[in-house]
Chain A
Amino acid sequence: MPIVPLSRIATARSGDKGEGSNVGVLARSTASYVFLKRELTADRVKKHMHAINLGGVKRYEADNLRLLNFILLDSLGGGGSASLKTDAQGKTHGLAVLRMELDVPNEVLQATPEAT
């Protein structure tokens, strides 16, 4: 299985959510959604974002949007006006998650068009 960045098979948007952030990972195809629903666990995102998020990670699913929604509970250095971080709103967290490298089966890659 080839190792590819998550961005090959998904897109993402993130934003602030109290003292944490949410990262919505949107699969580029039905095949990649089925794969990610199994592989992209809350624990895997928590490990990947360990230096940014100091709290737990929760995952929600919305099949109609091919969306896995991750809540990073302590990722903003206090959140809102209390944060000293340059990204106090978690705007860049989506792209950070998309840098994750994954072993993706060839059939999933073939069923998932590349971004142009």
Chain B
Amino acid sequence: MTRKDKVLIANGQGFWGDSILAPVRLVNEGPLDYLTLDYLAEVTMSIMQKLRSRNPQAGYATDFVKLIDRILPQLVEKNIKVVANAGGVNPTACMDAVMAVVKKHGFKGVTVGIVEGDDILSRLDELMANGERFANMDTGAALSTVRKDVTSANVYLGAFPIAEALDRGAQIVITGRGTDPGLVLGPLIHEFGWKQSDYDLLAAGTVAGHIVECGAQCTGGNYTDWRRVPDMAKIGYPIIEARADGTFVVTKHDNTGGLVTESTIAHQLAYEMGDPRAYLGPDCSADFTSFKLEMDGKDRVLVRGVRGTAPTPTYKASISYRNGFKAVGELTISGPDALEKAKLCAEIVWQRLAHDGCEFAPEEKMVEFIGANVTHSGIASAERKDPSEIFLRIGVKSAIEAKVDRFGMEIVPLVTSGPPGVTGFAGGRPKATDIIGFWPALVSKTKIQHRVTLVTS
């Protein structure tokens, strides 16, 4: 196949809940070869497994199917490919739903591919019996200590399965859990024929994927110097303009809002960063200290010189488990004396619960007086003495669900039996919800096999 000179890859969704308009604008407002969409977070996998256990056709990102329904004509007309981790814990059901949309529109010859093999929930016992301990990377504890409470288990697959689906003709690739940068790296491997030993190139694609994986967070969103960012309402989502040699430009479509500078890109490179010399992924380890950022025209940043090394022999696994219950109640307390009265309200809740034999340990309790410096607690320059109102957040956690629900009954009574000026109780009694714990672990790559399946309309 003939290789393109450069490839345009956008991110139109940084997380499930991001702007539904962003991907629609990306396919309409300028040139594009690939649209990537990230729907998964750790807690999402657990929620999706719960949905699937109630309905075998559920457990994927339903927003994605609605999006395809809206933009499919443009995808077909402009030959834009889509790579999305919308499959969640049920890529097959997601593919079926997307194919139903393709048929509804009457398009023939559209190929949808799925990548599976990341979901190891049903294989956990077999893997543990075969010597995988899934030791917690933070505490060292063996997974067997919480095995009965596990709600989801997935490995972060790399980008080569995505490239395989594209090599075999998929226009829409749906994956389960993979790394976020892999959504960008997969198309680059496919387009430029990068090999598993091309560590510098794979690292360049990983850095590119990391920069765009949170959508507008690299184009002026969540930026310290926010007054410098023009037209944030119409902020442009990021586009990678990549070349086969591993150099790439980060940009956005013309006539969109937002800002792309060395500074906005450096901000996003710092996001969720650990050791910048060793950004570990399934396909390579990228060195975030190795490359240069430079302006290449308005709203264009050139990245070159990325270096990488071989990956480790393990995949990272993301395992979630039930770890107790929690609830948070919220009230608004007006002035005068808002903070003093809010403090009294919180104390009344704890005392009334104690009168009924319901006590919580200090580490199970939380009180926040929002408006009186919660987010920058302890920093003198942020302190305010007499706010005109306070938003009281008061919460508990416990292994015992009934205790958490009992707590929830003690919030609203403050409106009539506490100090004056307590309101904002329309939410009623907060109910206990599950706390989902996360268990970061490693698993040998030799134990994991991916599968690519394609269907053509």
The complex places the Cα of A63 from the Cα of B277 at a distance, in Å, of 11
Number of A-B contacts (CB under 8 A): 143
> Which of B240-248, B283-291, B308-316, B442-450 contacts its partner?
B283-291
The complex places the Cα of A66 from the Cα of B270 at a distance, in Å, of 11
The complex places the Cα of A95 from the Cα of B382 at a distance, in Å, of 11
B323 interfacial by beta-carbon distance below 8 Å: yes
| Contact assessment for B289 and A51 in the assembled complex, using a CB-CB cutoff below 8 Å | no
Size of interface on B: residues with Cβ below 8 Å to A: 53
Which of B273, B375, B382 counts the most chain A CB atoms within 10 A? B273
B437 interfacial by beta-carbon distance below 8 Å: yes
A104 interfacial by beta-carbon distance below 8 Å: no
A38-92 interface (Cβ within 8 A of B): 48-52, 60-67, 69, 71, 77-82, 84-87, 91-92
The complex places the Cα of A110 from the Cα of B340 at a distance, in Å, of 44
| Contact assessment for B366 and A84 in the assembled complex, using a CB-CB cutoff below 8 Å | yes
Q: Which residues on A sit within 8 Å (CB–CB) of B435?
A: 81-82
| Contact assessment for A11 and B263 in the assembled complex, using a CB-CB cutoff below 8 Å | yes
A99 interfacial by beta-carbon distance below 8 Å: yes
The complex places the Cα of A67 from the Cα of B291 at a distance, in Å, of 13
| Contact assessment for A92 and B225 in the assembled complex, using a CB-CB cutoff below 8 Å | no
| Contact assessment for B381 and A11 in the assembled complex, using a CB-CB cutoff below 8 Å | no
Chain B residues touching A, majority SS: mixed
| Contact assessment for B290 and A64 in the assembled complex, using a CB-CB cutoff below 8 Å | yes
Q: Which residues on A sit within 8 Å (CB–CB) of B154?
A: none
B267 interfacial by beta-carbon distance below 8 Å: yes
Nearest chain-A residue to B436 (Cβ)? Answer: A81
| Contact assessment for B381 and A64 in the assembled complex, using a CB-CB cutoff below 8 Å | no
Which of B225, B378, B381 counts the most chain A CB atoms within 10 A? B378
The complex places the Cα of A38 from the Cα of B352 at a distance, in Å, of 52
Nearest chain-A residue to B433 (Cβ)? Answer: A81
Q: From B266, B275, B434, give the contact of A67 (CB < 8 A).
A: B266
Q: Which residues on B sit within 8 Å (CB–CB) of A85?
A: 366, 368
Which 8 residue pairs are nearest across A and B when measured between Cβ atoms?
A: A51-B378, A24-B270, A11-B224, A84-B366, A84-B395, A92-B375, A51-B377, A62-B276
